[in-house]
Chains A and B, each alone.
Chain A
Amino acid sequence: MTGFATAGFLAMAGRSASAMTQAEARTLIGSVMNAVHEIINSARSEAQMMRDFEALFTRYGDIPVIARSVLGPPARSASAAQLNAFTEAFRGYMARKYGGQFRRFIGARADVTGARQVQSYWEVISTMTMRGEAPFEVRWHVSDRSGQHKFFNLIIEGVNLLAAERQEIGAMLERRGGSIDRLIQDLRSTR
């Protein structure tokens, strides 16, 4: 049983990963980093930057899949309307939270330094270099399983965004007695 599932998964994984080339995966992340660089060095207002980040995540990130994965098992029992509302709220939350993080990288140099196949997707490795400090790695997980080339996870020096947000959203949901509607409400105003 497990053997069948594994074999099926591997066959699917092989097909899907080969559909997207390493060069395509690297190009995607190169574009993302150029876009991030442009936003953080644009000297726009903070509110405008957050809107820019939201547009960036929408364009290059697979937000519906990220949102669903972060919500975890409760996503299965949620209605389509709830799932949509959650996805929208999560999009804004992610832009505010991680957009703010990216602003630390003002003046940093970012290079795509490698890519490797992991499970059924590509992991693209980028190196951030800030003056006078040791360079560090941001790794992007990239897939075309949505029909488009999109990233669905990033790992900053080992810290996995999907895992961290799954923990966080899980805790938020628990605090609200498992009510997805209240979670959506509060997520809209969470930094």
Chain B
Amino acid sequence: MPARTNRFLMLAAGLALVLVAACSPRPPGVEIHDPYEVTNRAWFENNLALDNAVLGDTTETSDSGLRRVVRNFGTNLSIPGSVVNNLLQFRPDRAIENTLRFAINSTVGIGGLFDPAGRMGLHGRRSDFGETLYVWGVHEGAFVMLPFFGPSTERDAAGMVVDAALDPFRFLLPGREHAATVAARLAAQLAERAEYGDLIDANVMQSADPYAQSRLLFLQARRYYLGEESEEYFIDPYAEFVD
């Protein structure tokens, strides 16, 4: 392992530790913990402006075929990172499914341009170090709105730093090619955002408080994905009206 990689790993691990330690715990019974709301709202506005500038008017669905290929290609490149996290989470079944998916799509799917594994019902399951931290018992921390990446939590943000450091392609490919895989994965994220843009527009952008709405939807969906959803926040309207 080159010294440069080593130093980067140490730095990332240190930064992630600091971030996890700095996590502001969500008080019990509080569904939304957003102590940085003022800053978060400002980034939300910036991200919207950036989205509009880069993706343009999402209502006009231009060439969704190309978009799908971009998405497939980048998403496929993110699978090895998911597998690393599956293993760190002691979930060999998920690691095997993701590996199979990567093998099929990289070969039959021509380097990941197409998704034959999905057609076979092998959808895999995306994972990241934020999920690994959850499995390891780290609490969610506060809600944060990241520049470019959008809604996240302190735990997930720390995870992103570690994911960048743990990325298998960093060890397998020379610097320039590794950078290309990172670019492809970012492009896939953009393509996905463009593809689902109309949905997000419809649900969130037309709401009275798009920031609050997207924060709620993000946290609920993320907790559900991790299996961290709490019945505490289910609503029993019949019980409410027993005055």
Decide if A30 is an interface residue (CB 8 Å cutoff): no
Decide if A172 is an interface residue (CB 8 Å cutoff): yes
Known contacts A100-B202, A134-B123, A158-B225; decide if A163 and B238 are in contact (CB<8 Å). no
Q: Could you tell me the distance in whole angstroms from the C-beta of B204 to the nearest C-beta in chain A?
A: 10
Decide if B136 is an interface residue (CB 8 Å cutoff): no
Nearest neighbor of B124 in chain A, beta-carbon distance: A134
Q: Among A9, A164, A190, point to the contact of B216 (Cβ < 8 A).
A: A164
Decide if B223 is an interface residue (CB 8 Å cutoff): yes
Decide if B119 is an interface residue (CB 8 Å cutoff): yes
Give the CA-CA distance A129 to B229 in the complex, in Å: 22
Check B220 against A171 for contact (C-beta < 8 Å): no
Check B216 against A163 for contact (C-beta < 8 Å): yes
Q: Could you name 29 residue pairs across A and B whose Cβ atoms are closer than 8 Å?
A: A9-B242, A12-B242, A13-B239, A65-B237, A66-B237, A68-B241, A69-B235, A101-B203, A118-B231, A119-B231, A119-B234, A119-B236, A119-B239, A120-B238, A121-B238, A133-B123, A134-B118, A153-B234, A158-B225, A158-B229, A159-B221, A160-B235, A163-B31, A164-B216, A164-B217, A167-B212, A168-B207, A171-B213, A174-B208
Q: Could you tell me the distance in whole angstroms from the C-beta of B112 to the nearest C-beta in chain A?
A: 15
Q: Could you tell me the distance in whole angstroms from the C-beta of A112 to the nearest C-beta in chain B?
A: 19
Nearest neighbor of B199 in chain A, beta-carbon distance: A104
Decide if B209 is an interface residue (CB 8 Å cutoff): yes
Decide if B8 is an interface residue (CB 8 Å cutoff): no
Check B224 against A157 for contact (C-beta < 8 Å): yes
Decide if B240 is an interface residue (CB 8 Å cutoff): yes
Decide if A191 is an interface residue (CB 8 Å cutoff): yes
Chain A residue total in the interface (Cβ 8 A): 40
Check B221 against A158 for contact (C-beta < 8 Å): yes
Give the CA-CA distance A13 to B236 in the complex, in Å: 11
B118 proximity list for chain A (CB < 8 A): 132-134
Q: A120-B236, A171-B213 are in contact. List 19 more A-B contacts (CB 8 A).
A: A12-B242, A65-B241, A69-B235, A100-B202, A141-B234, A152-B237, A152-B238, A153-B237, A157-B225, A158-B222, A158-B229, A159-B220, A162-B237, A163-B31, A163-B216, A163-B220, A167-B216, A175-B208, A191-B202
In the A-B complex, the 10 residue pairs with the closest CB atoms = A158-B224, A69-B237, A134-B123, A171-B208, A171-B209, A145-B238, A172-B208, A162-B235, A158-B221, A158-B220
A residues 120-150 near B (Cβ < 8 Å) are 120-121, 132-134, 141, 143, 145-146
Give the CA-CA distance A154 to B184 in the complex, in Å: 36
A13 proximity list for chain B (CB < 8 A): 239
Q: Could you tell me the distance in whole angstroms from the C-beta of B61 to the nearest C-beta in chain A?
A: 14
Q: Could you tell me the distance in whole angstroms from the C-beta of B220 to the nearest C-beta in chain A?
A: 5
Give the CA-CA distance A117 to B239 in the complex, in Å: 15
B237 proximity list for chain A (CB < 8 A): 65-66, 68-69, 152-153, 162
B residues 129-174 near A (Cβ < 8 Å) are none
Check B234 against A160 for contact (C-beta < 8 Å): yes
Give the CA-CA distance A65 to B156 in the complex, in Å: 36
Q: Among A65, A164, A166, A174, point to the contact of B238 (Cβ < 8 A).
A: A65
Give the CA-CA distance A133 to B115 in the complex, in Å: 10
Give the CA-CA distance A117 to B149 in the complex, in Å: 38
Contact with B along A164-191 (1 / 0, CB 8 A): 1011100110110000000000000011
Known contacts A158-B220, A160-B220, A172-B208; decide if A143 and B235 are in contact (CB<8 Å). no
